[in-house]
């Protein structure tokens, strides 16, 4: 964030509260995400990370407070206009129907096309380009259900890329992937940020990856912002142990020089 | 043999057909008007050839007419002939120098037609009128005494005058139009539903839409007129051989229309109203009867007799039935006690008959009292309920499944507290003569009375 | 790029090719359907009718035009509506087992229709209106029971549909047990599905009610594609889920109830036809919607043809045929898929 020229906050949250029925999941959250930055939301399970992401995507309406894009509240946009600016990738996409990779990626063009989604030459080119960006072009004519988890995730990212948004919001895209694919997806996100100037907002459990990639890290605890800032600021041992409620071992990663966190198994906690 | 058909007889009069396929109408007209010579007189004779039933053909009809046509044109129906002639003479389309004989002068030619007319509705478009079909057989010189239709020429080359030949065909075509609106020898009847029905004075192809109607028609001696009957029309034996047109609850429209009936006999309850409406839309007259009770059966028999020219037979049958009914009524009136009867028409579940049913009327007329007083026609019962009703007689109807019914009878007998079991009055009877509203119903009533009051009859009613 | 160009042209062309191919099948089925009578198949009169042969047998022509044609057209619409209904519900619920029948829409329409029949109302408009009221009541009940955007909502909808359906079946059984003999036959035949009484005014009315629904559903077909990816994903791609779902549900239940009260209940059509077509042509609804309309029509015309042709005397209710043909085929497809 320090390296980037300062821009006015694009995606901003002020005094946000949200929940289901009487149960309040998020309470009074305020944050701002710049375009062209990598923003990671972390925190223990059930603390409202996904809800926050959905609020940012305009999929859940806040009970209190507001989410604004470029100064205008999200609910003042119609769904299509919003879709042209924000792309969203849910935690899991399961479909009982066999769609080909190309069909799925082309779906990303939907907010830019007419009602029946008849695409033009340009849209196809964009889809091809998005597929080659995430390296799934060879899979173009395979069906989605025939792909491995990593391939499927890259296809879905390719779809989001094809949507040409300003922000791409992802809900734990790496949680089901092996190490190689995790890094691959994260690298892709970094390239999106650098090469296309997209704002990447990601919910992630992997604090180590977050530490290496995020520009800004937001730690959510019990529906509130526990910490917000650069990874090295946020990932303090004491704070993390309080938030996660377990013993942690924190060291400096020899690779990136960032914080590396190892949870300590119970049998070692006495030592 | 060739066919002629006009496309729209009421407006254009355009003639089409295999013979004319190469001649334009204009040419034809020209050739007619050019002929200044007086045109020959012709008599058109009809052979309504429809029924293959030889009994309908009167003696003296040419034997070799196709499909055993009825010789109706000349003698049998002078009314029809008169009507046809006057129609032709009035028709303005004969403004051409053509004159058609009206019977005063001897005709020079005879044109023979095989014509199928079952029933024709006024102004009913020909194309949609399934009842008309005209096939010219040929024409012959009146002086040719040959009665053999095989000699009637249809060979164009042997014509004296080729133009004349076409003129006749033109007449035929016009005649065809004429007949389609003139043949209206119908009578109006009002049926039990209050519909006025135009019926041919002599229906020749009747479709019966219920087994009971089939039975009535046969009892009137008019079984030969039946062109089709519904499924389960199994009495008398001959009825089984007739073509089926679906069940009476679901008559098959297409099969009926295909039979080209000139009369359909329907029942008010049972036949779907929609089918009847659609039959009428096809120009097929439908007469509805409602034989629901004993008195209405008598009325229905008389009505059907009136339609089928069997008034006398109907009178005979109904008189005989009335006599028998009076006999039964007198006998029943002497009965000291009306036993309580449980009438079982279904085994599992137990189904009986309620008030407002035909069988209820039968029970009462036979001097019994229906144990069931439900307003619903066919109420269900549990064994316990039947025991509570304590019927004095149990009557089980069978439909040729005697074994099962004997089992049911045995089951009832295991309840000795039932009055009917104590007095051993559980009977199995044939359902057909009891619940079918036909002339046989009197036999059923007699049987039922004999079961309920075995002591009343010293002799069985006749 | 050249490959891409090929594919772009392919979509519109594909819609036309697939629909055209199926139309040929449909046309063939219709011709055979028109030629099939109680006494077998006779193509002669149909040929006469098509060529306008003036020498044709007027009676046969009249029978074809006024008895068989409305029946075949009714079968066509019936198949198209029920198949399309299935397709829409499958897309909305993301479940290939969804169908108007399973969701209780048909059951609700049937209950409404039977109440109408028992009340002695005319088929049009009386019974049609009670049927629509019944289907809308069940639809809103199902929607109410399965509120919310969550994925659980989809399953809840299916489950509550099953429950509503069970309830409707019970109501129907109750109504049957208290109705008298005459109407009972009517109802039983109707429950099994019946096309034999169709006439032209009926067909015309069905067409007027149903064709706009076809158009609406086709216009929303791309949105249905997006909804295959899940509701949230579809929303993030610019689909207003609530609005689209509502329009689709109302249009579908409207056309299904309009159809059901004319033709009676017919199961499996909505499962089998979309399933087969999806296996052949893929999951793009812009292709599938027209294909299902035409293919479903053809399927039902063939079923109706079998219903008339198979028994030696009389005919089988067409619902029996669709179930006999449909259920094993469906099981087979499911098995192969698994």
pLDDT digits (tens, 9 = 90+) for B263-305: 899 988 878 888 888 888 887 889 999 887 888 899 999 999 9
The two beta strands, A167-171 and A199-203, are parallel
Cα(B49)–Cα(B58) distance, integer angstroms: 12
B166 with B199, same domain: the answer is no
What tokens does B388 get? 């509570």
Q: b or e along B452-462 (b: 16 or more beta carbons within 10 Å of the residue's beta carbon)? A: bbeebeeeebe
Element (H, E) at A252: strand A248-252
Average pLDDT over residues C85-98: 85
Selection from B192, B185, B220, B188 nearest residue B206 by Cα: B220
At residue B314, the pLDDT reads 92
CA-based nearest residue in chain C for residue B7: C54
At residue A162, the pLDDT reads 93
pLDDT tens for C276-307 read 898 888 889 999 999 999 999 999 999 998 88
B73 DSSP assignment: I
Neighbour subunits, B (≥3 Cβ pairs < 8 A): C
Inter-residue contact C101 to C267 (CB < 8 Å): yes
B27 with B173, same domain: the answer is yes
Selection from C264, C132, C258 nearest residue C207 by Cα: C258
At residue B23, the pLDDT reads 27
Residue C53 touches partner A, C-beta closer than 8 Å: no
At residue C186, the pLDDT reads 67
More confident residue, B216 or A269: B216
Does residue A86 carry a pLDDT above 50? Answer: yes
* CB-CB under 8 Å, C182 with B270: yes
Neighbour subunits, C (≥3 Cβ pairs < 8 A): A, B
* CB-CB under 8 Å, C59 with B260: yes
- pLDDT above 70 coverage of chain A, percent: 96
Query: How many beta-carbon pairs under 8 angstroms link B with C?
Result: 79
Q: How many domains does chain B have?
A: 3
More confident residue, C160 or C295: C295
Collapsing DSSP to helix, strand or coil, A33 comes out as strand
Neighbour subunits, A (≥3 Cβ pairs < 8 A): C
Residue C183 touches partner A, C-beta closer than 8 Å: no
Cα(A121)–Cα(C130) distance, integer angstroms: 50
The two beta strands, B226-228 and B206-208, are parallel
Does residue C146 carry a pLDDT above 70? Answer: no
Interface with A, mutate which of C237, C239, C290 (most A CBs under 10 A): C237
C228: left (phi over 0), alpha (psi -120 to 50) or beta: alpha
Q: What confidence tier does C56 reach under pLDDT thresholds 50, 70, 90?
A: low
Helix axes C269-281, C318-337, angle to 10 degrees: 40
At residue B120, the pLDDT reads 35
* CB-CB under 8 Å, C314 with B254: no
Collapsing DSSP to helix, strand or coil, A63 comes out as coil
B264 with B124, same domain: the answer is no
Residue B273 touches partner C, C-beta closer than 8 Å: no
Task: Enumerate the H helices of B23-77 as residue ranges.
Answer: 25-34
**ipTM exceeds 0.95:** no
B154 with B195, same domain: the answer is no
* Domain stop point among B309, B344, B360: B309
Q: How far apart are the first and last CA of chain A?
A: 39
B273 with B413, same domain: the answer is no
Inter-residue contact B345 to B378 (CB < 8 Å): yes
B300 with B216, same domain: the answer is yes
Q: In what order do the strands lie in the sheet with B263-267?
A: B226-228, B206-208, B263-267, B286-289
- CATH number, domain with residue C174: 1.10.3470.10
Cα(A172)–Cα(A92) distance, integer angstroms: 9
Which residues in C lie closer than 8 A to residue B16 (C-beta atoms)? 54-55
* CB-CB under 8 Å, A107 with C282: no
Cα(A48)–Cα(B112) distance, integer angstroms: 98
Among the partner-chain residues C219, C222, C233, the one whose CB lies closest to the CB of A88 is C233
B58 CA: distance to closest CA in chain C (Å): 28
Mean pLDDT of chain C: 82
Q: How many CA atoms lie within 13 A of B57 on its CB side?
A: 21
Cα(B29)–Cα(C239) distance, integer angstroms: 71
Q: What confidence tier does A48 reach under pLDDT thresholds 50, 70, 90?
A: confident
Cα(C63)–Cα(C48) distance, integer angstroms: 13
Residue B320 lies in a domain: no
Inter-residue contact C96 to C270 (CB < 8 Å): no
At residue B38, the pLDDT reads 35
More confident residue, A242 or B52: A242
At residue C24, the pLDDT reads 96
What tokens does A21 get? 């029925």
The two beta strands, A224-229 and A216-221, are antiparallel
Selection from B162, B168, B108 nearest residue B138 by Cα: B168
Residue B456 touches partner C, C-beta closer than 8 Å: no
Write phi, then psi, for C216 (nearest 5 degrees). -60, -45
At residue B186, the pLDDT reads 61
Q: How many domains does chain C have?
A: 1
Return the top range by mean pLDDT from A141-145, B87-91, B150-154, C138-142: A141-145
Residue B462 lies in a domain: no
What tokens does B180 get? 């389609």
Q: Which of A198-207, B8-17, B414-423, C130-139 has the lowest mean pLDDT?
A: B8-17
At least 3 CB pairs under 8 A between chains A and B = no
What is the 3 state secondary structure string of chain C?
Answer: CHHHHHHHHHHHHHHHHHHHHHHHHHHHHHHHHHHEECCEECHHHHHHHHHCCCCCCHHHHHHHHHHHHHHHHHHHHHHHHHHHHHHHHHHHHCCCCCCCCCCCHHHHHHHHHHHHHHCCCCHHHHHHHHHHHHHHHHHHHHHHHCCCCCHHHHHHHHHHHHHHHHHHHHHHHHHHHHCCHHHHHHHHHHHCCCCCCCCHHHHHHHHHHHHHHHHHHHHCHHHHHHHCCCHHHHHHCCCCHHHHHHHHHHHHHHHHHHHHHHHCCCCCHHHHHHHHHHHHHCCCHHHHHHHHHHHHHHHHHHHHHHHHHCCCCCCCCHHHHHHHHHHHHHHHHHHHHC
A119 CA: distance to closest CA in chain C (Å): 7
* CB-CB under 8 Å, C315 with B254: no
Please report, for residues C43, C75, C306, the alpha-carbon distance to residue C72 in angstroms, rounded to integers and kept in the order given.
15, 5, 12
Write phi, then psi, for C196 (nearest 5 degrees). -70, -20
Which residues in B lie closer than 8 A to residue C305 (C-beta atoms)? none
* CB-CB under 8 Å, B133 with C58: yes
Residue B258 touches partner C, C-beta closer than 8 Å: yes
At residue B162, the pLDDT reads 42
B159 with B240, same domain: the answer is no
Q: Cα C234 vs. chain centroid, distance in angstroms?
A: 26
More confident residue, A210 or C41: A210
Task: Enumerate the H helices of B367-418 as residue ranges.
Answer: 383-389, 402-413
At residue B177, the pLDDT reads 33
Question: Dihedral through CA C314, CA C319, CA C321, CA C324, nearest 10?
Answer: -140
Pairs from B287-290 (Cβ < 8 Å, separation ≥ 24): B287/B189, B287/B191, B287/B197, B287/B199, B287/B263, B288/B191, B288/B192, B288/B193, B288/B195, B289/B191, B289/B192, B289/B213, B289/B265, B290/B192, B290/B193
CA-based nearest residue in chain C for residue A82: C238
B141 with B233, same domain: the answer is no
More confident residue, A58 or C315: A58
Q: Which of A176-180, B75-79, B238-242, C10-14 has the lowest mean pLDDT?
A: B75-79
At residue C75, the pLDDT reads 94
B221 CA: distance to closest CA in chain C (Å): 28
B292 with B423, same domain: the answer is no
What tokens does A28 get? 């009074």
More confident residue, B71 or C29: C29
Which domain range does residue B156 map to? 4-182
Average pLDDT over residues C120-138: 80
Peptide bond between residue B236 and the one before it cis (omega within 30 degrees of 0): yes
CA-based nearest residue in chain B for residue C190: B250
CA-based nearest residue in chain A for residue C243: A79
Cα(B233)–Cα(B239) distance, integer angstroms: 6
Interface with A, mutate which of C238, C285, C290 (most A CBs under 10 A): C238
Which domain range does residue C323 map to? 2-337
Residue B52 touches partner C, C-beta closer than 8 Å: no
Selection from A76, A65, A71, A69 nearest residue A28 by Cα: A65
At residue B6, the pLDDT reads 32
Question: What residues are paired with B46 via a beta bridge?
Answer: B113
The two beta strands, B226-228 and C40-41, are unpaired
B145 with B16, same domain: the answer is yes
Residue B119 touches partner C, C-beta closer than 8 Å: no
Return the top range by mean pLDDT from A234-243, B392-401, C315-324: A234-243
Q: What confidence tier does C182 reach under pLDDT thresholds 50, 70, 90?
A: low
Does residue C253 carry a pLDDT above 90? Answer: no
Cα(C157)–Cα(B139) distance, integer angstroms: 78
Q: Cα B378 vs. chain centroid, distance in angstroms?
A: 31
Cα(B40)–Cα(B164) distance, integer angstroms: 8
* CB-CB under 8 Å, A59 with C232: yes
B37 CA: distance to closest CA in chain C (Å): 33
Question: What residues are paired with A95 via a beta bridge?
Answer: none
Cα(B404)–Cα(B391) distance, integer angstroms: 21
- Average pLDDT across each block of 10 residues of chain B; the chain has 462 residues. List them in order: 31 27 29 34 36 34 28 32 33 26 35 38 36 41 44 41 45 38 53 78 85 92 89 86 86 86 87 85 86 87 89 92 91 87 84 86 90 83 87 80 74 85 84 82 89 73 45
Cα(B43)–Cα(B107) distance, integer angstroms: 6
Q: Domain locations in chain A? A: 11-236
Which residues in C lie closer than 8 A to residue A54 (C-beta atoms)? 232
Task: Enumerate the H helices of B63-129 as residue ranges.
Answer: 78-90
- CATH class assigned to A11-236: alpha beta
Q: What confidence tier does C155 reach under pLDDT thresholds 50, 70, 90?
A: low
Q: How many CA atoms lie within 13 A of B358 on its CB side?
A: 22
CA-based nearest residue in chain C for residue B245: C314
* CB-CB under 8 Å, C12 with A116: no
At residue C122, the pLDDT reads 72
At residue C291, the pLDDT reads 96
Residue B315 lies in a domain: no
Residue B327 lies in a domain: no
Q: Cα C335 vs. chain centroid, distance in angstroms?
A: 24
Q: What confidence tier does C336 reach under pLDDT thresholds 50, 70, 90?
A: low
B151 with B128, same domain: the answer is yes
Inter-residue contact B405 to B396 (CB < 8 Å): yes
Which residues in B lie closer than 8 A to residue C63 (C-beta atoms)? 130, 254, 257-258
Does residue A75 carry a pLDDT above 60? Answer: yes
At residue A219, the pLDDT reads 93
Selection from B135, B138, B111, B109 nearest residue B44 by Cα: B111
């Amino acid at each position: 964030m320090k390296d980037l020229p300062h821009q006015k906050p694009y995606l901003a949250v002020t005094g946000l509260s949200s929940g289901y029925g009487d149960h309040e999941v998020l309470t009074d959250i305020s944050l701002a995400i710049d375009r062209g930055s990598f923003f990671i939301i972390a925190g223990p399970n059930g603390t409202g990370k996904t809800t926050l992401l959905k609020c940012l995507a305009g999929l859940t309406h806040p009970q209190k407070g507001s989410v604004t894009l470029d100064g205008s509240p999200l609910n003042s946009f119609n769904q299509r206009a919003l879709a042209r600016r924000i792309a969203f990738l849910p935690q899991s996409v399961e479909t009982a129907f066999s769609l080909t990779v190309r069909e799925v990626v082309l779906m990303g063009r939907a907010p830019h096309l007419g009602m029946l989604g008849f695409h033009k030459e340009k849209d196809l080119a964009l889809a091809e380009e998005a597929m080659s960006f995430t390296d799934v072009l060879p899979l173009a004519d395979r069906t989605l259900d025939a792909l491995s988890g990593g391939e499927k995730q890259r296809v879905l990212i390719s779809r989001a890329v094809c949507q040409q948004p300003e922000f791409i919001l992802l809900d734990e895209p790496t949680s089901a992937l092996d190490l190689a694919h995790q890094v691959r997806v994260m690298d892709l996100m970094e390239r999106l940020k650098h090469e296309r100037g997209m704002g990447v907002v990601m919910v992630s459990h992997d604090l180590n990856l977050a530490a290496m990639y995020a520009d800004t890290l937001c730690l959510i605890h019990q529906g509130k912002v526990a910490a917000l800032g650069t990874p090295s600021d946020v990932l303090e041992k004491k704070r993390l142990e309080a938030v996660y409620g377990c013993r942690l071992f924190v060291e400096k990663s020899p690779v990136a020089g960032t914080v590396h966190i190892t949870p300590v198994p119970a049998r070692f906690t006495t030592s | 043999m060739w066919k002629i058909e006009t496309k729209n007889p009421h407006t254009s009069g355009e003639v089409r057909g295999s013979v004319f396929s190469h001649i334009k109408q204009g040419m034809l007209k020209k050739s007619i008007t050019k002929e200044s010579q007086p045109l020959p007189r012709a008599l058109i004779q009809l052979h309504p050839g429809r029924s293959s039933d030889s009994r309908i053909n009167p003696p003296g009809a040419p034997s070799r007419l196709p499909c055993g046509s009825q010789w109706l044109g000349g003698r049998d129906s002078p009314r029809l002939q008169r009507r046809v002639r006057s129609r032709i003479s009035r028709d303005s389309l004969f403004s051409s120098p053509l004159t058609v004989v009206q019977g005063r002068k001897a005709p020079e030619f005879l044109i023979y037609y095989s014509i199928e007319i079952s029933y024709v509705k006024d102004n009913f478009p020909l194309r949609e009128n399934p009842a008309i079909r005209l096939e010219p057989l040929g024409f012959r010189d009146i002086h040719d005494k040959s009665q053999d239709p095989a000699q009637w020429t249809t060979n164009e080359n042997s014509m004296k005058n080729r133009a004349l030949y076409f003129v006749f065909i033109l007449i035929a075509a016009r005649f065809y139009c004429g007949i389609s609106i003139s043949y209206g020898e119908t009578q109006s009847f009002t049926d039990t539903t209050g519909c006025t029905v135009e019926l041919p004075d002599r229906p020749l192809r009747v479709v019966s839409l219920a087994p009971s109607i089939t039975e009535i028609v046969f009892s009137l001696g008019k079984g030969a007129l039946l062109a089709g009957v519904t499924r389960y029309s199994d009495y008398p034996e001959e009825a089984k051989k007739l073509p089926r047109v679906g069940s009476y609850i679901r008559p098959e429209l297409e099969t009926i229309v295909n039979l080209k009936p000139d009369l359909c006999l329907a029942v008010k309850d049972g036949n779907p109203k929609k089918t009847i409406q659609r039959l009428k839309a096809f120009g097929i007259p439908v007469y509805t009867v409602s034989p629901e009770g004993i008195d209405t059966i008598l009325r229905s028999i008389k009505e059907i007799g009136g339609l089928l020219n069997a008034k006398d037979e109907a009178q005979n049958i109904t008189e005989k039935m009335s006599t028998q009914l009076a006999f039964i009524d007198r006998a029943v009136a002497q009965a000291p006690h009306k036993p309580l009867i449980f009438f079982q028409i279904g085994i599992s579940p137990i189904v009986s008959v309620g008030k407002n049913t035909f069988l209820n009327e039968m029970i009462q007329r036979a001097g019994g009292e229906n144990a069931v007083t439900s307003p619903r026609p066919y109420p269900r019962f549990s064994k316990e309920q039947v025991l509570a009703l304590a019927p004095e007689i149990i009557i089980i109807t069978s439909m040729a499944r005697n074994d099962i019914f004997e089992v049911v009878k045995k089951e009832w007998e295991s309840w000795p507290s039932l009055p009917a079991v104590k007095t051993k009055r559980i009977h199995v009877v044939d359902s057909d003569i009891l619940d079918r509203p036909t002339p046989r119903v009197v036999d059923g009533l007699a049987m039922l009375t004999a079961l309920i009051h075995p002591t009343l009859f010293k002799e069985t009613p006749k | 790029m050249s490959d891409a160009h090929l594919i772009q042209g392919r979509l519109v062309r594909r819609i036309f090719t697939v629909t055209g191919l199926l139309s040929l099948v449909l046309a063939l089925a219709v011709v055979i359907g028109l030629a099939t009578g109680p006494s077998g198949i006779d193509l002669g009169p149909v040929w006469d009718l098509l060529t306008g042969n003036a020498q044709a047998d007027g009676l046969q022509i009249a029978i074809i035009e006024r008895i068989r044609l409305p029946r075949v057209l009714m079968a066509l619409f019936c198949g198209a509506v029920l198949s399309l209904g299935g397709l829409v519900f499958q897309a909305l619920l993301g479940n290939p087992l969804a169908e108007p029948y399973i969701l209780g829409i048909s059951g609700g329409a049937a209950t409404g229709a039977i109440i109408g029949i028992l009340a002695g109302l005319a088929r049009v408009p009386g019974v049609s209106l009670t049927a629509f009221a019944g289907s809308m009541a069940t639809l809103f009940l199902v929607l109410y029971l399965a509120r919310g955007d969550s994925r659980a909502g989809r399953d809840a909808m299916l489950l509550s549909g099953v429950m509503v359906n069970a309830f409707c079946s019970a109501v129907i059984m109750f109504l049957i047990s208290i109705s008298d003999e005459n109407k009972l036959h009517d109802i039983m035949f109707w429950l099994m599905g019946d096309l034999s009484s169709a006439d032209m005014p009926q067909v015309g009315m069905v067409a007027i009610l149903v064709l706009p629904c076809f158009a609406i559903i086709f216009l929303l077909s791309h949105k249905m594609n997006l909804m295959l990816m899940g509701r949230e994903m579809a929303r993030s791609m610019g689909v207003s889920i609530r609005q689209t779902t509502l329009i689709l549900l109302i249009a579908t239940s409207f056309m299904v109830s309009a159809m059901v009260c004319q033709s009676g209940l017919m199961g499996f059509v909505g499962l089998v036809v979309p399933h087969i077509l999806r296996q052949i042509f893929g999951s793009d609804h812009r292709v599938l919607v027209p294909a299902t309309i035409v293919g479903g029509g053809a399927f039902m015309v063939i079923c109706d043809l079998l219903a008339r042709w198979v028994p030696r005397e009389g005919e089988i209710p067409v619902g029996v045929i669709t179930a006999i043909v449909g259920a094993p085929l469906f099981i087979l497809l499911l098995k192969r898929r698994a």
